Every structure is written in C-alpha cells, then in structure tokens.
Amino acid sequence: MKKVTVVIVAIVSVFLWNACTPVKSGGQQDEIGQKVEDLLAQMTLEEKVGQMNQYNGFYDATGPAPSEGDAKNKFEHLKKGWVGSVLNVRGAKQVRELQKMVVENSRLGIPLIFGLDVIHGHKTLAPIPLAEAASWDLEAIKKSAEVAATEASAVGINWTFAPMVDISRDARWGRVMEGAGEDPYLGAKIGVARVKGFQGEDLSAPNSIAACAKHFAGYGFAEAGRDYNTVDISTSTLFNVVLPPFKAAVQEADVKTVMNAFNIMNGVPSTGNAFLQRDILKGKWGFNGFVISDWGSCMEMIPHGMAADLKEAAMIAANAGSDMDMESYAYVKYLADLVREGKVSEDKVDDAVRRILRVKFELGLFDDPYKYCSEEREKEMLYHQDHQDAVLDMARKSIVLLKNDGGLLPLDKKQSGIAVIGALANDKNSPLGSWRIGSDDNTAVSVLEGLDKYCNYKYAKGADVAVGDVSFTYDVTINETDKSGFAEAIALAKKSKVVVMVLGEHGFMSGEGRSRANIDLPGVQQELLEAVYKVNKNIVLVLMNGRPLALPWAAENIPTIVEAWQLGTQSGNAIADVLFGTYNPSGKLTMSFPRTVGQCPIYYNHYSTGRPDVKKEVFWSHYTDEENSPLFPFGYGLSYSKFEYSDLKVDDSDSNNIKVSVKITNTSNIDGEEVVQLYIHDKAASIVRPVKELKGFEKITLKANESKTVEFAMTEKELGFYDIEGNFVVEPGAFDVMVGTNSQTGLSGSFDLK
C-alpha cells in the first residue's frame, strides 16, 4: 500500500491589533496617495460629499427604491459630479452612457465606480455560495470568483458587493444561501479565497473588480432567523465568531470595500456604529478601503430609533465611519450643511473621500473611465466555454452525498427502468438560485437535460413547487394544493426499477427577505415523496435547496439522498455526473441540518453548558420531544469510496507548533476525495470555549486502496481566542483534539499547551 506524507503547515500570521491610523494626508504617500491628495485639494465640499453618494441605477432595484422626489434629481446630480457611484446598471452600453455623462459634464470629471451584486457569477452562474462552501476547495472557489469578475468586468462593473462573510447558524434565515455556513475558521478561508478571486493580483487588470466583505457586522445572527431582525449577541461571539472572516478579508486579502449591516450591534445600528467601523475596522485592523452602507441603512436609523430624521442619520453615519451612502439620499441632502454647522468635521469627509478615490485610482478608472465598457469584450466573455467548465467543476465538488444505503448510486448507464419525478428536475430557472441580478432566466442545464447524456428515463412532474411567476423581489407562491400529477407519478414509479426524485425549494425561496418559519419540503412534496415510496422504495432523493432543510422522515426512510443545492448554470450536468459516478461526490456540509426547526439555531461549535450529560432525571440540557444532535452534522458528507482513519499522532513538545498527524486509507476500489478535518477543544479557559472548533482541513485525493498521512501544525493563531475586550489571548492548559471525516466522527487525542 503506497504511503505518501502530506504536510500541512497552518499558515502562521499573527494579527497584531496594531492601532493603525486611518488613511490620512502627510507622511510617506505612495503615488496614488499623492494623486488623491492633489485631487482632494481641488474639490469643493459638495463635490467631496458627492463622492460619498451612491444611487441605484435605472434598471434594477435590490431594495425599496424611491421612484419620485429625490430620485428625479439623479441625472442632474450626476452631471454636477454629486454622485460617486451607481449600482444596478447593467450592460457595457448603459455603463458607458452614465460614465460619459459624469466624466464629460462634471467640473473635475471624477469617474463613477459601478457596483453590482455579483454573488455567484454574472451570466454564467456558479453554485450558490453555501453550495460552493461545501466543496471545501479553496482553489475552485477562487476560480469561481475569477470567472464572475471576468464576466462582470466585461459588462462595465468594477465592484461587486461580495463575498458575504456573515456566519449564520439558523436555517430559517434566507441569506444562509449567500454565505459559507456556521464556522468562522472555514468562513474566513473561503472569504479570503473569494476576495482574491474577485480582485486578482492587480486591481487595475481588466478582469479584476473590487470586492466587498459584507455585512459588517453580525447580520447572520438575526433573532429567530427573521431577516432584518434584532441582533443581540455577546462580545465573545462578536470577536470569536462574527469578526474573524471580516478580519481575514481585510488583513489577508486586502478587500477594498466593506458593506455595513442593517442590524444593530449592542443597541447601535451598524451604519452608525463607530465601535465597529472606526475603532475595529479602520483602527485596530487598519482597513484602508471604504465602507458602503447597505441599501438605505442610513435612513433606516430613523425606524431603528437612533435618529430623529434623515439629517441626524447622516450626521451619525458620517461620524461613525460610514463612507458612502447607498440610496438613503442622506449625504447628498445634508452632509455639506452638517459640515458647515460643525456637526461633522470636514476631516471625516476628507478621510471618506480619500478612501473612495484611492479605490477608483487603484481600479485604473482615472486612466481610462471606459476600460470596463467594451461591448466587444462583453460579447466575447459572457457564457464563455472556459466559464462553463469552471462552474461545472465547482458544481460537481459542491454536491454532498448524505445517504447511500444499499448502494443505489452510482447508477449504471446501461440501467433500464429509471423514473424521474419532481418539477425541479425539469426546471431551468430555479437551479440558478437567488442573488443573480445580472443573469438571464432559464439558462440552467436541467436535471433531465443532464440525464439525457447518460440514460433513457421516463419523467413525471408529480407536483409543482411554485405556482405563477417567480422573481427576486416578490414572495414565491407555493403549490399547497395541486396534487393532480400524483397519480401519473405513482403509476410511473410502480413500474420502474429506480426512482430519481428531485424535490426541494424554488431558488427564490431563499436569499434576502426569504426567511421561513418552517424548513421542511415546501408544499405537497413530502406527500408526493411518501406516496411514491409506498409503491417503490428504490428512491434516489436529489435535494435542491438554498438552506438546510429538516427532513427526518426522508433521512429515516429514503435509502439515497443527494444534496444538490442550487448549482447554477451547469446544475443538471453536475448532478448527472455524480448520479452516474463520473464524479465521485466529495462535498461536506458547512451548516448543520436540523431534525426539526425547533432545534434552530443549531451548530457544532456550541458551548458545553453546565448540564451537558445525559441523566435519567430531566435536569440536563435537552428537549423532551427531540434529540439534541442534528440530522446531518457540520463537515458531513459521504463518498462512493470508503475511508478509514488510523495512526493518530499528537506531538505537543513545542507549544508554538503542535503537530497532529493521521493516516487515511481508501479501502474501496474507487478513487475518491476526502476532506480531512482537524478540531480542537480548549477544555478550560478564562471564557468558556466551544466543545469543538475547526482549526485545519485538507481535501486529499486517494486512489483505490491508497493511504496517505496528513499532518497539521497548530500555532497560537489556531490555539488562541479573543477575550471579551477583543484581545487575542493564548492560554496554557489541556486540549482535546480530533481528526476526522466530519465534526462528530474521527480519532481523538489530547495535548497540553504549556
């Protein structure tokens, strides 16, 4: 048996909480810094404030856009140079028109920066980010962001409002589809990969765009998973769970922008939160990009109960370090007066404008304001075959095999008697997922189209998931009553050898404003599944969903379950490749799947509590009607291969370099990939630590019957944590360690940190 040693050295980069000062004039200025100063010196106060003003384009709205009143002044403000950025403009032609209007009419001709939510692709769509995260493949994730940047930059966009790096533990929240799941360590790694994919090595390159780490901060902790709801978390959770992905995006990937959040943090709306934006982001972390508000979040400080009116909101936001105002019209209407009245110092305005101008210079917009507006490039790059190949690779790697009892999978191409049931199998729109502002509808490869390349099958819809029109902006109407297709589906299942059932959520049932109080199969699909099961138990359930679903009956009864998320343009091809074994599934969940919505929020890296142990009496932390454990845990995913872990070794002789190694053997005759995961538990510390924390992972390929030894090295960066003042501390003591195939299964050891 071949033995190969793979050494993984945890990247050691100690983040010093140095008190960097914001970007200011004076001192050693680089060339761009000097250009910024020269330009700033020429600007009037109104022109400076103009740079801090972002309007929605005239083609799309991703928020409650005012249409009358202030909105009608947009073109006049553009010509006066009172607008720094526009979002939701689509197409090189429209971008060129708006850029021309500003560059050729305003006094200083400062170019606009064009932003768009390029969340998982522009025209060629990758899997939704929660699916991509399940690949644990940082290179593939980075490549996916590069493809998105290439297509977005080809249509005039130079700034994406991505990656969303919000950690979330509550499947009821619709925006879990947009993030990387429940773990801050993995979330940070994925956030860095995505920022680097968007921004490239050189931000001025034609296919690089500025990225945006969002939503700063804590948006994923909305109470009860209800979007925009109150966030009320501890400083320990803020520093140890919420902030690490943002800090990594700033300090490891040099993200150029950060978007603040709709929610309050410790009672103060993020947009008006100087502790978050000035003390931490711009102060301790030394962030030198700019902060964009979320849509209307400046104005929303009024309903939050923070500001009496829009002028006060503008004052609070500007003083708190919110550099650009998205669609509140607060800065453009009041900021100049607030400066004249001495309520906002011009220094703060200058600091914001410096940050904004710097990004525009770094993008090369002053050298050529139209560099992103080539209609030829638009034609050449959109839907390019290279992009199809990249998103197909990403989609395959994102699929998670949850169950395969009895080995129904992989299917045999020569197999006859295959039935396919479920409306989503024939849907070319839903698999594209939510948050696809720039895409074209119905451009996904459907499951049926993917299967066409492999086999003959018979199809029956069974039942629709959604009825009527579906859109990004309005609620999906779910089919709760129409079972007229059941009889045909049941009859087909009865005479078939194996039934592939494609069930789940419509792509627009997750995303912004899409929280669900129930997270089961929507509509009549559970009934359909049980009805088919009654006549044929050989079911391969393919799930298409934007969040963890609670599927206890399916997990108990259905022999084979494949988590196929919403995989984007190449969805059907990726699913077919996995079902027929062309690609051996390798994905692992990055969010726990609950047994029931009553368990939410549920996550692996929870605290122990004082009563964790099972007792005969009722006096321990549990439910009387449900287990504590999830249906499928964080890090879980099967393969067609079988992997065996052995020979765990822990070397704690050097407290600055704790070494852990383990041997993994592929005991099957099928080549496959395994994500080897390293977890620790700091057993006693000055604040309690989670029962498990992911502190390393490596996705390895193992040929049939091959073994490899994977080695991890942990330094203080992996072993320390933030105390309630936000100081990074490393405390000696006893640690448990586990290396395994998911957060619940592996080989355990321990070490002493001296």
Q: Which of residues 632-671 bind ligand GLC (CB under 6 A)?
A: none
Q: How far is the CB of 97 from ligand GLC (least distance, A)?
A: 21
x-marked contacts with ligand GLC along 253-272 as a string, rule CB under 6 A: --------------------
Residue at token pair 């839907």: 383
x-marked contacts with ligand GLC along 469-508 as a string, rule CB under 6 A: ----------------------------------------
Q: How far is the CB of 323 from ligand GLC (least distance, A)?
A: 15
Nearer CB in complex with ligand GLC: 262/634 = 262
**Count of residues that bind ligand GLC according to CB under 6 A:** 9
Nearer CB in complex with ligand GLC: 166/693 = 166
Q: How far is the CB of 600 from ligand GLC (least distance, A)?
A: 21
Return all residues near 484 (Cβ < 8 A) that are at least 6 apart.
Answer: none
Q: Are 432 and 569 in contact (CB under 8 A)?
A: yes
Residue 93 CA to residue 156 CA, distance in Å, equals 8
Nearer CB in complex with ligand GLC: 293/446 = 293
Question: Kindly report the CA angle at 190 between 186 and 194, in degrees rounded to 5?
Answer: 170
Task: Give buried/exposed letters for 193-222 (b at 16+ CB in 10 A, else e).
Answer: bbbbbbbbeebeebbbbbbbbbbbbbbbbb
396 near ligand GLC (CB under 6 A)? no
512 near ligand GLC (CB under 6 A)? yes
CA-based torsion, 433, 437, 438, 440: positive or negative: positive
Q: Binder to ligand GLC among 10, 17, 35, 63 (CB under 6 A)?
A: 63
Nearer CB in complex with ligand GLC: 194/354 = 194
Q: Binder to ligand GLC among 114, 136, 159, 161 (CB under 6 A)?
A: 161
Q: Are 418 and 459 in contact (CB under 8 A)?
A: no
682 near ligand GLC (CB under 6 A)? no
Nearer CB in complex with ligand GLC: 62/150 = 62
294 near ligand GLC (CB under 6 A)? yes
Q: How far is the CB of 116 from ligand GLC (least distance, A)?
A: 8
Q: How far is the CB of 98 from ligand GLC (least distance, A)?
A: 17
Q: Binder to ligand GLC among 239, 246, 290, 295 (CB under 6 A)?
A: 295
Residue 57 CA to residue 608 CA, distance in Å, equals 49
Residue 375 CA to residue 91 CA, distance in Å, equals 8
- Assess whether the previous peptide bond of 217 is cis (omega < 30° from 0): yes
Q: Binder to ligand GLC among 214, 278, 461, 516 (CB under 6 A)?
A: 214
Return all residues near 116 (Cβ < 8 A) that are at least 6 apart.
Answer: 87, 88, 89, 90, 122, 152, 157, 159, 160, 161, 437, 438
Q: How far is the CB of 365 from ligand GLC (least distance, A)?
A: 20
| Structure-block tokens of residue 746 | 């592996």
Q: How far is the CB of 709 from ligand GLC (least distance, A)?
A: 43
Backbone angles phi, psi at 372, to 5 degrees: -100, 10
Burial class (CB within 10 angstroms; exposed 0-12, middle 13-18, buried 19+) of 615: exposed
Other Cβ atoms closer than 10 A to 546: 30
Single out the residue of 363, 428, 375 nearest to residue 125, CA to CA: 428
Return all residues near 668 (Cβ < 8 A) that are at least 6 apart.
Answer: 640, 641, 642, 704, 705
Terminal CA-CA length for the chain: 38
Residue 341 CA to residue 305 CA, distance in Å, equals 23
| Positions marked catalytic | 294
> Cα 465 to the chain's mean position, in Å?
25
459 near ligand GLC (CB under 6 A)? no
| Structure-block tokens of residue 726 | 């936000």
Q: Which of residues 72-91 bind ligand GLC (CB under 6 A)?
A: 87
Other Cβ atoms closer than 10 A to 32: 15
Nearer CB in complex with ligand GLC: 215/428 = 215
Q: How far is the CB of 394 from ligand GLC (least distance, A)?
A: 21
Residue 744 CA to residue 646 CA, distance in Å, equals 16
Q: How far is the CB of 63 from ligand GLC (least distance, A)?
A: 4
Q: Binder to ligand GLC among 85, 94, 99, 117 (CB under 6 A)?
A: 117
x-marked contacts with ligand GLC along 590-629 as a string, rule CB under 6 A: ----------------------------------------
Nearer CB in complex with ligand GLC: 140/213 = 213
Nearer CB in complex with ligand GLC: 161/331 = 161
SS3 of residue 701 by DSSP: strand
Q: How far is the CB of 338 from ligand GLC (least distance, A)?
A: 25
Task: Give buried/exposed letters for 314-340 (b at 16+ CB in 10 A, else e).
Answer: bbbbbbbbbbbbbbbbbbbbbbbebbe
Residue 576 CA to residue 211 CA, distance in Å, equals 33
Nearer CB in complex with ligand GLC: 153/293 = 293
DSSP lists the bridge partners of residue 9 as 713
Other Cβ atoms closer than 10 A to 34: 11
Q: Binder to ligand GLC among 51, 53, 54, 62 (CB under 6 A)?
A: 62
Q: How far is the CB of 62 from ligand GLC (least distance, A)?
A: 3
Nearer CB in complex with ligand GLC: 257/743 = 257
Nearer CB in complex with ligand GLC: 63/417 = 63
| Structure-block tokens of residue 482 | 């129409």
Single out the residue of 302, 355, 353, 361 nearest to residue 330, CA to CA: 302
x-marked contacts with ligand GLC along 566-595 as a string, rule CB under 6 A: ------------------------------
Residues that bind ligand GLC (CB under 6 A): 62-63, 87, 117, 161, 214, 294-295, 512
